[in-house]
C-alpha cells in the first residue's frame, strides 16, 4: 500500500504503455480478445485516477504526490511528476475518456491490435503532459503523444486522412520546434550552466525563429513548400470529386 501511494502517478502514467506491450503479445487474429484487453487495461489508470482524485487535498498548497528521480543531470533535468488542482482534473478526464473512446471505436475491424496499441500509447503521452513538472520531460511526453496520433489519423481517419495527418504532423512539429527554441533560453536563464547557450544570444535566436525572421532555415522552408504542394493537390482532388 505504501508503494502504491508513493508511486501512484507513475502507475497511472505507465500502465497504459505496459498494457500496450502486453497487447502486442496477443495474436492479431483474436480481435475480440484484443478489444476487451485494451478496454480492461484502460480501466486500470482510470481506477487509480479515482483514487488520486479522492486522496488529493485541495486545501494544501503546491504540488502533491510528487515523484522525482535523476534522469539527465547535465542540464539538471529529472523525472519529476506531480499534480495540482488543474492537472488532477485533467488526469481524471483523460483516463475517463480513453475507455469511452475505445468503446466508441469498437466497430473498427482493420488492424485492431495496432489501433489499440497506438491508443494506449497516446494515453501515456497525454498523461505525461499533464503530470510532468520538468520542462524537458514535458517536451518528451508531448512528442510521444504526437507519434500515435499521426498514425491513428493516417490509418483510421475519414476522407483526406493522409492529407490531414500530414498537416497535423507539420503544424505540431513546427509548434514543438517553437517550444524547444523558447525553452532553451528560459532554461539557460534559470540554471546558468556552462552546457547551455548564453541566455541573451539564445533568446535572440529564439525570437528570430518564432517571429519568422530566421532566413537560414532550409528545413522549415522545405516543409512549407511540401505543405503548400499538398494543399494544392488536395484542392485539385476536391475539385475533381
CB 14 within 8 A of CB 124: yes
d(CA 202, CA 197): 6
Q: What is the pLDDT at residue 192?
A: 39
Q: pLDDT averaged over the chain?
A: 79
Q: What is the pLDDT at residue 34?
A: 94
Residue 102 pLDDT > 80: yes
Residue 112 pLDDT > 70: yes
| Segment 38-89, tens digit of pLDDT | 999 999 999 999 999 999 999 888 899 999 888 877 777 789 999 998 999 9
Q: What is the pLDDT at residue 163?
A: 78
Residue 189 pLDDT > 90: no
| Segment 203-234, tens digit of pLDDT | 454 444 444 444 334 444 554 555 566 556 55
Residue 199 pLDDT > 50: no
More confident residue, 49 or 201: 49
Q: What is the pLDDT at residue 213?
A: 40
Percent of the chain, pLDDT > 90? 40
pTM: 0.74
Run of H or E residues at 133: none
How do the domains of the chain map onto residue ranges?
A: 1-157, 159-241
Q: What is the pLDDT at residue 236?
A: 55
pLDDT grade for 121, boundaries at 50, 70 and 90: very high
pLDDT grade for 198, boundaries at 50, 70 and 90: very low
SS3 134: coil
DSSP letter assigned to residue 74 = G
Query: Burial code of 128-159, b = ≥16 C-beta within 10 A, e = fewer?
Result: bbbbbbbbbbbbbbbbbbbebbbbbbbbbeee
Amino acid at each position: 500500500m505504501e508503494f502504491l501511494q508513493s508511486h501512484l502517478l507513475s502507475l497511472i502514467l505507465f500502465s497504459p504503455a505496459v498494457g500496450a506491450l502486453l497487447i502486442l503479445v496477443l495474436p492479431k487474429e483474436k480481435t475480440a480478445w484484443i478489444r476487451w484487453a485494451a478496454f480492461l487495461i484502460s480501466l486500470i489508470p482510470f481506477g487509480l485516477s479515482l483514487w488520486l482524485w479522492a486522496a488529493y487535498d485541495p486545501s494544501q498548497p503546491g504540488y502533491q504526490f510528487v515523484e522525482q528521480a535523476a534522469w539527465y543531470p547535465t542540464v539538471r533535468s529529472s523525472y519529476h511528476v506531480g499534480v495540482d488542482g488543474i492537472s488532477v482534473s485533467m488526469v481524471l478526464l483523460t483516463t475517463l475518456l480513453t475507455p469511452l473512446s475505445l468503446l466508441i471505436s469498437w466497430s473498427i475491424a482493420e488492424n485492431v491490435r495496432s489501433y489499440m496499441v497506438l491508443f494506449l500509447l497516446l494515453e501515456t503521452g497525454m498523461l505525461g503532459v499533464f503530470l510532468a513538472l520538468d520542462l524537458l520531460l514535458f517536451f518528451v511526453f508531448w512528442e510521444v503523444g504526437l507519434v500515435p496520433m499521426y498514425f491513428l489519423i493516417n490509418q483510421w481517419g475519414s476522407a483526406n486522412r493522409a492529407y490531414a495527418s500530414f498537416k497535423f504532423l507539420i503544424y505540431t512539429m513546427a509548434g514543438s520546434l517553437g517550444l524547444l527554441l523558447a525553452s532553451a533560453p528560459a532554461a539557460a536563464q534559470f540554471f546558468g550552466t556552462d552546457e547551455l547557450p548564453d541566455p541573451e544570444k539564445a533568446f535572440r535566436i529564439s525570437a528570430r525563429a518564432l517571429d519568422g525572421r530566421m532566413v537560414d532555415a532550409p528545413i522549415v522552408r522545405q516543409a512549407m513548400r511540401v505543405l503548400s504542394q499538398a494543399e494544392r493537390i488536395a484542392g485539385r482532388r476536391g475539385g475533381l470529386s
